Amino acid sequence: MNLLIFSGFNQILQSAAALASACHAARRGQRVLLVSVGPAHLTGALLGQNLGPRPLELESHLAAVEVDPLDEIGSRWDEVRPSLRSGITARLRDLAPEELPSFPGMDAIAGLLVAEKARHSGHFDLVILDGPLAEGLVRAVSLPDVLRWFTRLIVGIDRGPGRSRSSQDAAMIPAALLPPSAFAPLQDLRVELEAQRARIDAATGSRVRLVVTPEELSMPGVPISLTSLGLYGMAVDEVIVAGDLGKVSEASRETFSPEASSVRPRLRVGPVATEIANRDAWALRGAELYHDGEVFDPNLTKHPPTGEREMKLYIPFLDPKTLDIALSSEEVVVQLGPLRRHVLLPGIVTGGRLRAKVEPAEVLRLWVE
């Protein structure tokens, strides 16, 4: 099963592109699940169809669902609660799903939970996520790093396998003073969030598509979003420009040319209608946008996975001048402008020497000797 996440800066354009893509892919024989994560839930409105939390079969090979992030994450919380039986966390058993807070990025996480269920069901070839806007998507993929920082700072839980002596000694409440049941849920939550991010890593074949206007394409927001997603391991294979090719500047065409860099996405310029229509009309719109070709190539080349002691980050528009790499608490801290990602390479903990290199085609390579 493949995962395709639509994002952008304009909710209705994003939803329209996702809907047209889903209908076209289904008509070409792929089993498609279209997942709307909101918050506006425009997918059903554009289709003139009432959607809900359960997948609704719209036609052969096409089903759609609207996800309420609080309800989806709340149902997962109901599965976790019985495991909180002792220690400090036993008190959390009384926390009902409706008491869970809303937090940035939860809509994307809820969508990924639904996508994971779809993968396990074996009923779908392609899940199209009408995901959050670009800023929300970046927040979602950066959330695991926030939790990893928190767990080490408060209770000294090592961010990788095992425990770091130095992190426990520096913790506000060292883990050695607490029973395992007190911090195990935090560790489990961290692992779950990191697993979700790993499922949308470029090495899995998952892809993001930004939907923009010609005017947005010439603004800094698009390159910044691509850089941000690349830092956290995600790949954008296409930038869909809703409009005419004549409105796209020559500079933008050259900047996003596939020949410029294998990391940078290609441009797909075409109409993205936003009027309410039936499935036949949306399928035709998708066929026009993709020139009657495939929405998602199943033979798409994935970014090759890296070994335990090595990591490659494919970062479009990577500017080495804004890059800073340091070691902190046995982790590699990669800072790129206002963004920061914490990476644990096992060799660092055992005394290996960190190496870093910006390779051609905007690839950051980190490895341990």
Rounded Cα gap, residues 126 and 29, in angstroms:
11
Looking at the fold, whether 62 and 123 belong to one and the same domain comes out as yes
For residue 220, whether the previous peptide bond is cis, meaning omega lies within 30 degrees of 0, is no
Starting at the earlier edge strand, list the strands of the sheet with 354-359: 310-314, 363-368, 354-359
pLDDT of residue 157: 53
For residue 145, being part of any structural domain is answered with: no
Q: For the domain that residue 350 is a member of, what is the CATH number?
A: 2.60.40.790
Looking at the fold, whether 192 and 272 belong to one and the same domain comes out as yes
| Residue 265 structure tokens | 């996405």
Span 273-301, mean pLDDT? Answer: 89
Span 254-259, mean pLDDT? Answer: 76
For residue 52, being part of any structural domain is answered with: yes
Task: Summarize pLDDT for 150-187 with one digit per residue, the tens.
Answer: 666 555 555 444 344 555 455 545 555 555 555 555 55
pLDDT of residue 159: 44
Task: Summarize pLDDT for 38-49 with one digit per residue, the tens.
Answer: 777 899 999 988
Rounded Cα gap, residues 336 and 245, in angstroms:
32
Residue 334 clears pLDDT 70, i.e. is over it: yes
For residue 279, being part of any structural domain is answered with: yes
Contact between 355 and 368 (Cβ < 8 Å)? yes
Looking at the fold, whether 25 and 126 belong to one and the same domain comes out as yes
Looking at the fold, whether 245 and 184 belong to one and the same domain comes out as yes
Residue 275 clears pLDDT 80, i.e. is over it: yes
CB atoms inside a 10 Å sphere around CB 79: 8
Q: What is the CA radius of gyration of the chain?
A: 22
Q: For the domain that residue 82 is a member of, what is the CATH number?
A: 3.40.50.300
Which amino acid would we find at residue 205? G
Span 126-142, mean pLDDT? Answer: 87
Rounded Cα gap, residues 28 and 290, in angstroms:
12
pLDDT of residue 139: 83
Structural domain of 109: 2-133+177-289
Residue 4 clears pLDDT 70, i.e. is over it: yes
Q: Which whole-number Å values give the CA distances from 71 to 30, 96, 119, 346, in the listed order?
A: 29, 11, 20, 37
For residue 153, being part of any structural domain is answered with: no
Residue 9 clears pLDDT 80, i.e. is over it: yes
Where does the pLDDT of residue 241 fall: very low under 50, low under 70, confident under 90, or very high at 90 and above? very high
Q: Are strands 56-59 and 126-130 parallel, antiparallel or unpaired?
A: unpaired
Contact between 129 and 21 (Cβ < 8 Å)? no
Rounded Cα gap, residues 263 and 266, in angstroms:
9
DSSP 8-state symbol, 246: G
Residue 80 clears pLDDT 80, i.e. is over it: no
Looking at the fold, whether 240 and 342 belong to one and the same domain comes out as no
Q: Which of 64-78, 129-143, 206-220 is the most confident on average? A: 206-220
Looking at the fold, whether 277 and 341 belong to one and the same domain comes out as no
Looking at the fold, whether 273 and 318 belong to one and the same domain comes out as no
pLDDT of residue 161: 40
Task: Summarize pLDDT for 19-37 with one digit per residue, the tens.
Answer: 999 999 999 999 999 999 8
Residue 11 clears pLDDT 80, i.e. is over it: yes
Rounded Cα gap, residues 184 and 357, in angstroms:
36
Looking at the fold, whether 244 and 351 belong to one and the same domain comes out as no
Looking at the fold, whether 346 and 257 belong to one and the same domain comes out as no
Q: Which of 89-98, 288-297, 322-331 is the most confident on average? A: 288-297
Specify the residue for token string 């779908």.
124
Q: What phi, psi does 359 have (nearest 5°)?
A: -90, 165
Span 290-319, mean pLDDT? Answer: 82
Looking at the fold, whether 269 and 343 belong to one and the same domain comes out as no
Domains contained in the chain, number: 2
